[in-house]
Structure 1
Amino acid sequence: MSFPLDPDDPRPPYMQITNALRAAILTKKLQPGERLPSQSELTKRYDVSRATVQRALRDLQDEGLLVARQGSGVFVRSRTERPVGVRTHIERAFEQPRVTIDFAGFSGETLYAALQEPVDKIRDGRLTPESIIVRLLVPNMADSQAVPVLVDGRAHDPRVTERARDIMLSHSRGIKRLVEELKTLGLVKEARVEVRTHGITPSFKLYVLNGAEVFFGFYPLGSNTVAVQGEAVDIVDVFGLDATLFPFATTDGQGAPGGLFVEQARKWYDSVWTMLGEELTP
């Protein structure tokens, strides 16, 4: 994976690194699930800045070839087929005057990352929605869930549960701060993020964009070594960034499977939100 950067190559250093890593992944020199060296190690290895390494890794994440797992590092995707790029669709949703995003899943980590670009464009005046309403439906990690649990005996560990709750709260707070700041700055008339928790362990993630597009994907499970209170712990974890999303849209036509799926997804979301959801102030 290590190679000298070519000073005569007209491409910027981040692009040279991106292309080399992409080739290594697609030719299986970097195996699915393999962990990459840390950013510090990569900056030393290629004699570049941390920003250059971060740009290369971010581009490969956007392509669906790498995933970053909080507290664990950056990994080659377990499956290297190209997933649906929900990021582009979320940005397109912000072109409408009234934006609604409903998310159901574990933490909203992918949503938080995907919101950065459209929010920046609103700040720059390139996007001008009138209202933004985001709803997050996440598990109540104060209760024991089926995952995450210890690999050994599938036992529950309060430290692991607390870690998962902290990750969920971190991204919920980030989304709330990103969106609601737009109203504070006077850039959007209405901007609101609501969070509700429930007792169902999610087996899938779901996005409903402007009530017209749905993205659905199953959560893969696997073993993961994470740092918990300074100790390396092996857990059965949810790899949300590895979920392949399937798109459905009302524009598929009346009576078409896509439109029917959108309708049923909205009904499911509203029913869980209303019947089981408990308000959470992140």
Structure 2
Amino acid sequence: MQETATGNVFGLAHLWAQGDNVSHAIAILIVLMSVISWYLILAKSLDWWRLRKASKAVASFWAAKSVTEGIDQLRAAGEDSPYAQLANQANCCNCDCEAVSGRLVSQFDPSEQMERALRQQLATTQAGMESGLTFLATTAATAPFVGLFGTVWGIYHALIAIGMSGQAALEKIAGPVGEALIMTAAGLAVALPAVFAYNTFTRANRLILADLDAFAHDLHAFFTVGKPLLATSAQIHPLRARAAQGAA
């Protein structure tokens, strides 16, 4: 009974002790992918919560008595609010259009200058929102195969050890092979949260970017026509609409 108890001591510690440099590197890689993925998931969740909070201040912007007061209302919901950045960009462009004479941008009329500034701000915001999503997608696609490679490598070494010992009984094979399968389970445990998070954040970013584009359209109409069109998320700018269709 004592021999059986000591012979069945298998687990992560035993797997690590019996592994070589390759299996150790695979295990460390899986752990790093998991840590970075969860960091991105938590950071992106916090960013999404801030963006949702900032979007609720748009109504206060249009209810303000002046543009400056409206921008202050947007900043009160978040100093780095992309809505505040768009409003500030539009306001600065509206005030400084005459100051760019003599430059290439001065060849645009004021409406086109503002549209260009808002489009650049939207592109900057979109790039910030999408940062880190590539790593989540890569982790979701590769982590199962990294774990599978670790399993194959572990089984290979387990079979070599069993062959050298000359004992091919089931109780001698089950333990090492079961240990090796832990690598596949670890790869799946890393990949599943990453793929769920990637799909969730991609959809959330698409909705928020549509709202930001609608707000930019309203700002452009307000400063060029004199009143906001109050576009909804479905009434997005034609350029972004074409980009969205192309991405689809």
TM range (shorter): under 0.3
Higher helix share: 2
Higher strand share: 1
Greater relative contact order (Cα 8 A, min sep 6): structure 1 or 2? 2
